[in-house]
Amino acid sequence: MDWKDLETSAVRCSRCGACQQVCPVYKELGTEAAVALGKIGLIRAATQGWIQDPAALSEMMSLCLACKACAANCPSGVQGDQLVLAARQRLVEEHGLPLLKRLILRFFLKHKAIFETGLRLGSVGQRVLFRRTPKGNLPRLPMGLDSKRLVPALAPRPLRSRYPVVVEAPDARGTVALFTGCMVNHVYPEIGEAAIAVLHQQGITVVLPPEQHCCGLAAHASGDQATALELGRATLACFEKCQVDAVLTLCGSCGNTLKHELGDWFSADTAMAPKAVVLAEQVQDFAQYLVAIGLRGPLSPLVGRVTYHESCHLTRGQGVKAQPRELIRAIPGLAFQEMSAPGQCCGSAGSFSLAHYDLTQKISARKTEDIRATGADTVVTGCPSCLMQLRDGLNQGGSETRVLHLAQLLASVLPRPQAQP
């Protein structure tokens, strides 16, 4: 592919400046190259051959959270985030991936067996690359991760190894497949346990297809489309075989990838495109599904004040905004308080937070302040990646506010399920 292919979308940017108003990176850096209109300008410059330093261009394209705020606010309908991701792809095609990303994406992530064995070794593997500190793990080597970035410990046993492939609910009123995603399977299995407990209690049989792997967004967002496509194919092949009412996701980004991205990635692939369409129709976010089937109470009361953080890919990517709030508000006794900007990105953006930690911290500090102003003791979100970032930000800000995935909040107010892992 060529830069010229991006021109048709890029030329529609009228450079009006509306993206400046909402871009979290522009808010911190204040330079034109930080915001969509500048990045689109650079894409057009690349089309004309006016770029002198591809490394500088790569760095600028890396400064995007892909939070979709610009796209949602663009009067001309330009998908700024998609253009940036496409540009990253061109840059990787032309100049390759940095060594660490190549190692992670092409060797580690792409090969499910190596990936899972590696992560299953858990603490051992992590000790090689990270040193433990009282606060968490810090990278040992300058390997493309910011040296101040705390990385949560890997779970000693991944989520899927804790359950049979089918977690049968008695007198089931529905059957779903659960796409666990890397973060829930390997870092926060407790989120998956909570979700399975809630679904089980609600009379929903949960299938955990063992062939599932990474959704591929991490590779796509790094411009490594070859790896992304391979992972996408594996996902489509895995869920094609499932006879279920819906495929549920617990992560805004995984969900958006399955629902929207795969269709784009395979749009020209006549064999895979129809499969992507079928999967997209099946995929639902956890909250969306529970609201659709009707959550059965009673819910036990909780005391406290809760606010809700919108994952970019859940709210703008998938349009799931109302359902999580509806479920939170259904819990008796809880006070719900909106932030002033619940849809503002937390700054995590997957590996963005690993590579640009200082910038992430600034973006995160705004979110932390917004949370603090609500007086909430609990922040609920629908994405494990946001959860990691929010915890880090609140911790750095000295706040005691806890962060829960919606599944964890619901599990705490529903009767204890019979099926424990």
Partner 1 sequence: MHSDTRQALINIVGQGHLVDSHEDRLCYAYDASPIPMQPGHVPSLVVFPGCTEEVARIVRLANEVGFALCPRGAGSNVSGGSIPDRDAVVLVLTRMNRILAIDRANMIAEVEPGVITEQFQKEVERLGLFYPPDPSSKAFSTLGGNVAECAGGPRGAKYGVTRDYVLGLEVVMPTGEIIQTGARTMKSVAGLDLTRLMVGSEGTLGIVTRIILRLLALPPAKKTLMAIFPDLNSASETVAQVFMAGMVPATLELLDKTFIRAIEAYRQIGLPTDAEAILLIEVDGEPEALDRQAQRIAEICMNQGATRTQVAKDAAEAEELWIARRSAFASVSRIKPTIIGEDATVPRDKIPQAVREIQAIAARHQLTIAVLGHAGDGNLHPTILADERDPDEMRRVDLAVDELFRSMLALGGTLTGEHGIGRMKSPYLHLETGNAALAVMRTIKRALDPRNVLNPAIGLGG
Under the rule (CB under 8 A), what is the footprint of partner 1?
11-12, 14-18, 20-21, 30-33, 38, 41-42, 44-45, 48, 50-53, 56-57, 60, 74-77
Residue 48 or 147: which CB sits closer to partner 1? Answer: 48
231 or 363, CB closer to partner 1?
A: 363
DSSP bridge partners of 136? 133
C-alpha 94/C-alpha 91 separation (Å) is 5
Beta carbon of residue 113, minimum distance to partner 1 (angstroms, whole number)? 41
Task: Provide the H-helix boundaries in 158-216.
Answer: 181-182, 189-201
Question: Considering beta carbons, is residue 30 or 375 the nearer one to partner 1?
Answer: 30
Q: Where are the beta strands (DSSP E) in 230-365?
A: 246-249, 283-285, 304-309, 334-336
Give the end-to-end CA distance of the chain in Å, rounded to a whole number: 47
- Looking at beta carbons only, is 78 or 97 nearer to partner 1? 78
Beta-bridged to residue 207, according to DSSP, are 166, 177
Q: How far is the CB of 368 from partner 1 (least distance, A)?
A: 21
Bond into 298 cis (ω within 30)? yes
In this structure, what DSSP letter does residue 283 have? Answer: E
| 159/65 Cα distance (integer angstroms) | 28
Find, among 266, 255, 256, 263, the residue nearest to 230 by Cα.
266
The residue (of 44 and 162) whose beta carbon lies closer to partner 1 is: 44
| Residue 35 Cβ vs partner 1, minimum distance, rounded to whole Å | 9
What whole-number distance in Å separates Cα of residue 332 and Cα of residue 298? 10
Name the β-bridge partners of 379.
Answer: 307, 403
Q: How far is the CB of 340 from partner 1 (least distance, A)?
A: 12
For partner 1, give the closer residue by CB, 26 or 308: 26
Q: CB 11 → partner 1: shortest distance, Å?
A: 4
The stretches of 257-337 forming alpha helices (DSSP H) are 262-265, 273-282, 286-293, 312, 322-329
CB of 37 to partner 1, least distance (A): 8
Q: Which residue has the tokens 């049968």?
A: 168
Q: Taking a C-beta distance cutoff of 8 angstroms, is the pair 401, 184 a contact? A: no
Complex with partner 1: residue 30 or 96, whichever CB lies closer: 30
In whole angstroms, how close is the CB of 369 to partner 1 at the nearest point? 17
